[in-house]
A and B are shown apart, each in its own frame.
Chain A
Amino acid sequence: MLFEALTLGLGYNASLVTLGAAALGMAAGVTGTFLYLRKRALVSDAISHATLPGIAAAFMLAVALGGDGRGLPVLLLGSAVSAALGLLAVQWLASRTRLTEDAAIGAVLSVFFGFGVVLLTVIQTLSTGRQAGLEDFLLGATAGMLRSEALLIAVGGLVTLAIVVVLRRPMLMTAFDPSHASAMGVNLTRTDIAMMGLVMAVTVVGLKIVGLILIVALLIIPPVAARFWSDRADRVVLLAGVVGGVAGWVGAAFSATAADLPTGPMIVLAAFALFCLSFLLAPGRGLMAAALRAASFRTRVHLRQGLLAIANDQPIYETLTLRLLARRGLALPDGVPTEAGRAAAARARLDEERWAIVRADPSLELAAARYDGLTPLEDVLTVDQISEIDARRPAPEALA
C-alpha cells in the first residue's frame, strides 16, 4: 500500500495531492532558504496565522453575495489578502516603533489568529455556516477533497515552484549580500516583496494540505536541514528544495495509506526526520562530526600547551593535559617529562620561535594569518623559507 502511494498508485486525487505536496515542499524549501538566510524564518509564522481572518471573511462575503462560500479559490484569495495585511503589520510595527521584529511577529500572529477565531464563531452561528468546514484550514485536510481542489493545489504548487526557479538568482544574491546585490543592479525592495509574495503563495497553496499552523514547518525545516550539508548558499537552496520535496512526497504518500495519518503532520514529521539525519550525520556541521572535531581539537591544544610548558620548565596545571601527555608517553603521570617528551617539547618550542618571527614580519603576513597555535610551520612554509627564518633566530647560547 505504501509502495502504491509512493508511486502514485492510489487514485487520481491522492496522486494529485502527493504531486502537489511535493511541488509545494520544493517551493517552500527554496523560498524558506531565502527567509532563513535573511534571519527572518519566523516571519512566515505571522503570515500563516494571519490567513485565518481572511479565510473567514472571504466566506462571509461570498455568502453575503449569495454564493455558498466554500469555493476554494475565493477562500484562498481571502487568505492571501489578510496574510498580506499581517505582513504589513509586522513590517510597520518593527520599523515604526521600538518593538523588535520577534515581538511584532508574535503580536500579529496571535491577534490575527484570535480575530480569525472570532469570525469563525460568527460563521458557526450563521445558518449557512454550520458545515463550512473552515476548521480544516487549521490543520489541513486532504481526505474527501474535490477533484478540482486537488487540481488547484497541484497546479498552485507547480506554479509557485516555477516562479521560485525563475527568481532564484536575484533572491539568492539579496539573501546572501544585500549591498552587493544592490550594486549589481538588483532592486532590493522588489526582491523582498517577491520573496514575501512567494512565502504567501506557499502558505496559501499549503493551507488545504498542511494547514495554517504547520505550513511554517515547510518553510523552516528544509533550509535548516540543508544548511548542515553545505556552506554555499546556492547548494543550500537546492538541497532545501530537495528536502522539502521529499518530505512533501513521502508525507503525503504515507498519509494516503490510512485514515488516521493526517497529511500535514505526516509531511512535517517527514521533514523533521530529514532534519534529524542532517543534524546528526552531516559531515562538517553535523553533530557527530563536530563533536569528533572538538575532541581532537581539545587534545591538540592540551598537548601543545603541555609541551610548551615542559620546554619552558613551567608547571602543568591541567589534569587533562597531564593525562594526555602520559598516555602518549611524553610525560610521567606526575608531569615529569620523558626523553620523548623533552624532544617533542624542544620541537614545539622551536616551532613557536619560528612562528614568532613569521608573525612579526609584514612580508609574511599571509603565512602569519594561518597561525593558530597548533599548526606546525612546516605545513605553511617551504623548507627553504624555514631555513631562512632559522637564520634570523637569535644565537642558541643567548637562550640559555
Chain B
Amino acid sequence: MNGAEFVSLSLPPIVIGVLVAVTCALPGNFLLLRRQALIGDAISHVVLPGIVVGFLLTGAVATWPMLLGASVAAIAAVVLIEAIRRLGQIEAGAAMGVVFTTLFAGGVLLLEQSDTSSVHLDVEHALYGNLESLIWLEATGWSSLADPAALAGLPPELFRIAGAAGLVALLLAVFWRPLKIATFDENYAAALGLPVTAISLGLVIVSAIAAVAAFDAVGSIIVIAMFICPPATARLLTDRLGAQVAWSVALAAIAAVAGFVLAGYGPLWLGGSDAVSAAGMIATVSGVLLGLAALVGPHRRPLAAQP
C-alpha cells in the first residue's frame, strides 16, 4: 500500500477508531470505579431506539436529529433505571436489565414497522457499524493533510467524534477533583457541599455523549468494549488514578490501531482474501489486552481484606 492509499483508505478510520476508543475509555474509568461499568452497556443498547425515533420523527436519515434522539434515549434510560431502582427498590443491575432490553426491543419493533429499507438503517449496522467505510476519497497522499480543499472531504464522522473527544476530555479535566472526591467518598463529597447527584448524572450524560458520538462512527459493540476493557486493564496495571486514566487512553488507542490493522491485514497474512470486521477486532484486541493484564498485571490481585 502506498502513501496515497494509506492516507485515503486507512488513516481516517484509524484516527476515528482511536478517537472513539479514547472518548469512551475516559468516562469509563470513573464508571468502573463507581461500579457502574454496565451503564455503558445499557446506554449503548438504547442508542438504537433513540436513533430510530429520531429517524421516524424527521423522516430522513439526518444526522443531528438521530444523534439527538439517541442522546435523549440514553438520558431517558438512565432516568428510568434510577426510578425503578429507587422507587421499586430493585437492585441496580436488574433495573438496568429491565430498561435496556425493553428499549432495545422497542427500537427493533419500530424498525420493523417502519419502511427503512430505502435507508441505511438496520440492527446489524447499529451493532457493528462500518468503520472501514469511513474513507477519504479526496486524499491524494500525505500532502492532502495540508490541503484545505481535500480536508473538507474528510468523513463528517471524524469531526463529530473529534469534537466529542475534545468535549469529554475537557469536562473530565475541569471536573477532575469533584469527580474524584465524589467517586471515592460520596458522603464526604456531599458534606463538603459538592452536588453529588449532579456529578453522578453529569458523568452519565458525558458517557452518553461519548456513546452516541462513537456509535455514529462505529456501532455499539465497540462502544461497550471501550467503556470497560481499557479502564479495567489499566486498573490492573497501576494504583494511581491519574496513571490509570493515562494507561486506559494508551490502551484504547493501541486496541484501536492494532484492531484495525489486524482486521484489514490479518486475513491476508493467513491466506484469506477479505478483511474482517474492524469493530469486532478492536473489541477482541482490547479483550486480549485485558486478559494479559489479568494474568501478569502488577496490580491484578484482589485487595486483601484489611483488619
A adjacent to B, CB under 8 Å: yes
Residues in A lying within 8 Å of B, measured CB to CB: 36, 39-42, 44-45, 92-93, 95-100, 102-103, 105-107, 109-118, 120-122, 125, 135, 138-139, 213-214, 216-217, 219-221, 223-224, 227-228, 260-262, 264-266, 268-269, 272, 275, 279, 285, 287, 290
Inter-chain CA distance A105–B235, complex, in Å, is 16
Q: Are B283 and A114 touching (Cβ within 8 A)?
A: yes
- Which A residues are CB-close (under 8 A) to B37? 100, 102-103, 105-106
- Which B residues are CB-close (under 8 A) to A103? 32, 35, 37, 228, 232, 235
- Which A residues are CB-close (under 8 A) to B94? 36, 41-42, 220, 223-224
- Please give me the residue from chain A that is nearest to B89 by CB atom: A285
Residues in B lying within 8 Å of A, measured CB to CB: 32, 35-38, 40-41, 45, 84, 87-91, 93-98, 101-102, 104-106, 108-109, 112-113, 123-124, 127-128, 221-222, 224-225, 227-229, 232, 235-236, 263, 267, 272-277, 279-284, 286-287, 290, 294, 297, 299-303
Q: Are A99 and B283 touching (Cβ within 8 A)?
A: no
Across chains A and B, the number of contacting residue pairs, with CB separation under 8 Å, is 215
Q: Are B35 and A100 touching (Cβ within 8 A)?
A: yes
- Smallest CB-CB A-B distances: 8 pairs: A114-B283, A111-B287, A117-B280, A217-B101, A220-B97, A265-B105, A110-B225, A268-B105
Supposing A114-B280, A268-B102 touch, asked if A125 and B228 sit within 8 A by C-beta, the answer is no
Inter-chain CA distance A96–B300, complex, in Å, is 8
Q: Are B302 and A98 touching (Cβ within 8 A)?
A: yes
Q: Are A39 and B91 touching (Cβ within 8 A)?
A: yes
Inter-chain CA distance A139–B84, complex, in Å, is 26
- Which A residues are CB-close (under 8 A) to B272? 122, 125
Indicate the member of A44, A96, A97, A106 with the most B CB atoms within 10 Å: A106
- Which B residues are CB-close (under 8 A) to A114? 221-222, 225, 279-284, 286-287
Supposing A118-B263, A279-B84 touch, asked if A98 and B299 sit within 8 A by C-beta, the answer is yes
Inter-chain CA distance A117–B45, complex, in Å, is 16
Inter-chain CA distance A177–B96, complex, in Å, is 25
Inter-chain CA distance A96–B267, complex, in Å, is 34
Q: Are B90 and A227 touching (Cβ within 8 A)?
A: yes
- Which B residues are CB-close (under 8 A) to A117? 127-128, 221, 277, 279-280, 283
- Which A residues are CB-close (under 8 A) to B221? 110, 113-114, 117
Supposing A102-B38, A110-B229, A262-B109 touch, asked if A118 and B281 sit within 8 A by C-beta, the answer is yes
Inter-chain CA distance A93–B221, complex, in Å, is 20
Q: Are A96 and B263 touching (Cβ within 8 A)?
A: no
Inter-chain CA distance A139–B127, complex, in Å, is 12
- Please give me the residue from chain B that is nearest to A39 by CB atom: B91
A211 to chain B, nearest CB (A): 9
Inter-chain CA distance A98–B128, complex, in Å, is 30
- Which B residues are CB-close (under 8 A) to A105? 37-38
